[in-house]
Amino acid sequence: MSEASDAAGFAQAYETCGRIIANIERVIIGKRNVIEETLVAVLAGGHLLLEDVPGVGKTMLAKSLARSIGGEFARVQFTPDLMPSDVTGVSIYNQHSGTFSFRKGPVFANVVLADEINRANPRTQSALLEAMEERQVTVDGETHALPHPFVVVATENPIEYEGVYPLPESQLDRFMLRLSIGYPSEADEKRVVKSQLTRHPIDDLEPVCDASDVEALQATTARCHVDETIYDYVMAIVRRTRQSEQLELGASPRGTLAAIRTAQALAIIEGRDFVTPDDIKRLAVSILAHRTLLASQARLGEVGAADIVREILEEVAVPV
Q: Could you list the residue range(s) of the whole structural domain that residue 258 is in?
A: 224-320
Q: Is the pTM of this model over 0.75?
A: yes
C-alpha 71/C-alpha 217 separation (Å) is 15
- The reported pLDDT for the residue numbered 49 is 96
pLDDT in tens, 54-80: 888 999 999 999 999 999 999 999 988
Angle, nearest 10°, between helix axes 211-222 and 253-269? 110
Q: Kindly state whether residues 86 and 168 are assigned to the same domain.
A: yes
Q: Kindly state whether residues 66 and 177 are assigned to the same domain.
A: yes
Residues lower than pLDDT 70 in the chain:
1-5, 159-163
- The reported pLDDT for the residue numbered 168 is 79
- Name the residue type at position 308: I
- The reported pLDDT for the residue numbered 296 is 79
| Residue 137 near residue 146 (C-beta atoms within 8 A) | yes
- The reported pLDDT for the residue numbered 99 is 79
Q: Strand 48-51 and strand 73-77: pairing?
A: unpaired
Closest CA to 240 of 152, 232, 15, 150: 232
Q: How many domains does the chain fold into? A: 2
Q: Which of 223, 258, 282 is the last residue of a domain?
A: 223
CATH number, domain of 283, equals: 1.10.8.80
CATH number, domain of 135, equals: 3.40.50.300
C-alpha 143/C-alpha 137 separation (Å) is 6
Helices (H) and strands (E) in the chain, counts: 13, 11
DSSP alpha helix (H) spans, 52-119: 58-68, 84-88
Instruction: Find the angle CA(308)-CA(309)-CA(313) to the nearest 5 degrees.
Output: 115
